[in-house]
Amino acid sequence: MTEAFIERGLALGGAIVVGITAFVQLKNDWPAQGLDATVTKILLGLMAVGCVLALLAAVNVLGARS
């Protein structure tokens, strides 16, 4: 097992856990009204997009080929 394999595995696991949490929280906060709720929705959406990018990088779709 190489260091890159371990790093990708940790990134994959973290992206899955954080991504699922972000999507669930976004679903739960969706009906909320107000400025605070809107900012929370934007931040959760950006977190979900970041997790998708981290997931793609972990499975070697994005980034350097090795």
Reported as a single tens digit per residue, the pLDDT across 21-31 is: 999 999 999 99
- Round to the nearest angstrom and report the end-to-end CA distance of the chain: 14
pTM of the complete model beyond 0.85? no
DSSP class of 60: T
Which has the closest alpha carbon to 23: 50, 5, 63? Answer: 50
pLDDT digits (tens, 9 = 90+) for 16-54: 999 999 999 999 999 999 999 999 999 999 999 999 998
Quote the number of domains for the chain: 1
In a domain, 65, yes or no: no
Domain range for 30: 3-14+22-58
Q: How far apart are CA 43 and CA 54, in angstroms?
A: 16
